[in-house]
Amino acid sequence: MSYRKGSKVWVEEKGEGWLEAEVVDAKERAVVVLTSQRKKISVLPEKLLPRDTDEDLGGGHVDDMTKLTYLNEPGVLYNLKRRYALNEIYTYTGSILIAVNPFTRLPHLYNEYMMEQYKGVRLGDLSPHVFAVADASYRAMVNDSRSQSILVSGESGAGKTETTKLIMRYLTYVGGRAVLDDRSVEQQVLESNPLLEAFGNAKTIRNDNSSRFGKFVEIQFDKTGRISGAAIRTYLLERSRVVQINDPERNFHCFYQLCASGKDAELYKLGHASTFHYLNQSKTYELEGTNNEDEYWKTKRAMDIVGISRSDQDAIFRTLAAILHLGNIEFSPGKESDSSKIKDSTSNFHLQMTATLLMCDPDLLVSSLCSRSIHTNEGIIIKALDCAAAVANRDTLAKTVYARLFDWLVENINKSIGQDVDSKAQIGVLDIYGFESFKHNSFEQFCINFANEKLQQHFNEHVFKMEQEEYKSEKINWSYIEFIDNQDMLDLIEKKPIGIIALLDEACMFPKSTHVTFATKMFRNLSSHPRLEKTKFSETDFSISHYAGKVTYQTDSFLEKNRDYIVAEHCNLLSSSRCPLLSGLFTSLPEESVRSSYKFSSVASRFKQQLQALMETLSSTEPHYVRCVKPNSVNRPQLFENQSVLHQLRCGGVLEAVRISLAGYPTRRTYAEFVDRFGVLVPELMLGSYDERALTESVLQKMKLDNFQLGRTKVFLRAGQIAILDVRRAEVLDNAARRIQGRFRTFIARKEFVKTKEASISVQAYCRGCFARKMYKIMRETAAAIILQKHVRRLIVQRNYQEACSAALLIQSCIRGFIARRYFSTIREQKAALVIQSFWRKRKVAMLFQHYKRATIAIQCAWRQKLARKELRKLRMTANEAGALREAKNKLEKKLDDLTLRLTLERRIRAAGEETKLVEISKRDKIIETLSAECAAAKSSARSEHDKNLLLQRQLDDSLGEIAMLRSNKILKAEEEKQNSNLKNIVKSLSEKNSLLENELSTARKSSDDTMEKLKDVEGKCTHLQQNLVKLQEKLTNLENENHVLRNKAFNISPKTVSEVLPFYNPLKFSKFSASIGLPNSEQKHIFETPTPTKHLAPIPHSTGTRRQKLPVERHEGNHEILSRCIKENLGFKDGKPVAACIIYKCLLHWRAFESERTAIFDHVIEAINDVLKAKEADGRLPYWLSNTSALLCLLQKNLRSNGFFGTPSRRSAGSLGLGGRTGQLVGRGDTLAQVDARYPAILFKQQLTACVEKIFGQLRDNLKKEISPLLSVCIQAPKSTRAQPGKASKSPGAGAQQPSNSHWDNIVNFLNLLMDTLRENYVPSFFIRKLITQLFSFINIQLFNSLLLRRECCTFSNGEYVKAGLSLLEKWITDVTEEFAGTSWHELNYIRQAVGFLVIHQKRKKTLEEISQDLCPSLSIRQIYRICSMYWDDKYNTQGISNEVVSAMREMVNKDTANLVSNSFLLDDDLSIPFSTEDLSMAIPATDYADVELPECLHLHPSVQFLLKVS
Looking at the annotation, which residues are catalytic?
156-157, 161, 207, 210-211, 434, 436
- Determine the straight-line distance between the first and last CA of the chain, rounded to whole angstroms: 100
User: How far from chain centre, in Å, is Cα 973?
Assistant: 102
Count of Cβ atoms closer than 10 Å to residue 1295 Cβ: 10
Q: Which residues are within 8 A (CB) of 1177 and not within 5 positions of it... i.e. 6 or more apart?
A: none
Residue type, 926: K
Rounded Cα distance between 503 and 511, Å, is: 14
**Cα 1462–chain centre separation:** 6
276 CA to centre of own chain? 49
Distance from C-alpha of 1359 to C-alpha of 1370, rounded to nearest angstrom? 17
Count CA atoms closer than 13 A to 1418's CA, side-chain side.
3
Instruction: Look up residue 100 and give its DSSP letter.
Output: E
**C-alpha gyration radius of the chain:** 53
Q: Which residues 6+ apart lie within 8 Å of 504 measured at CB? A: 518, 558, 559, 562, 602, 604
Pairing relationship of beta strands 96-100 and 622-629 according to DSSP bridges: parallel
Q: For residues 274 and 287, give the distance between their C-alpha atoms in angstroms, rounded to a whole number.
A: 14
Query: What does the alpha-carbon distance between residue 1495 and residue 303 come to, in Å, rounded to a whole number?
Result: 74
Determine the Cα–Cα distance for residues 1193 and 1255; give it in Å rounded to an integer: 14
Q: Residue 769 CA to chain centroid, in angstroms? A: 75
**Which DSSP category does 67 fall into?**
G
Query: Following DSSP, what letter does each residue of 1230-1281 receive, concatenated?
Result: TTTSPPEE--HHHHHHHHHHHHHHHHHHHHHHHHHHHHHHHHHHHHSS--GG
What is the pairing mode between strands 598-602 and 40-43? unpaired
Separation between Cα atoms, residue 159 and residue 86, nearest integer Å: 19
Q: How far apart are CA 668 and CA 663, in angstroms?
A: 13
Name which of 527, 530, 511 is nearest 519 in CA terms.
527
The rounded distance, in Å, linking the Cα atoms of 1432 and 1416 is 16
Using the 8-state DSSP alphabet, how is residue 124 labeled? T
What is the distance of C-alpha 410 from the center of its chain? 37
What residues have CB less than 8 Å from 544, skipping those under 6 apart?
449, 489, 492, 531, 532, 533, 550, 551, 553
Q: Are strands 31-35 and 96-100 parallel, antiparallel or unpaired?
A: unpaired
Distance between CA atoms of residues 386 and 337, nearest Å: 8
Nearest to 669 by CA among 62, 248, 213, 1143: 62
Cβ proximity of 11 and 21 under 8 Å:
yes
Specify whether the CB–CB gap between 713 and 670 falls below 8 A.
yes
Q: Which residues contact 658 (CB under 8 A, 6 or more apart)?
A: 65, 71, 72, 73, 76, 93, 666
Contact 1312, 1372 (CB under 8 A): no
Distance CA 565, CA 571 (A): 11
| Burial per residue of 1169-1185, b for 16 or more beta-carbon CB atoms within 10 angstroms, e otherwise | bbebbeeeebbebbbbb
For residues 1346 and 1276, what is the distance between their CA atoms, to the nearest angstrom? 10
* Closest by Cα among 183, 190, 146 to 167: 190
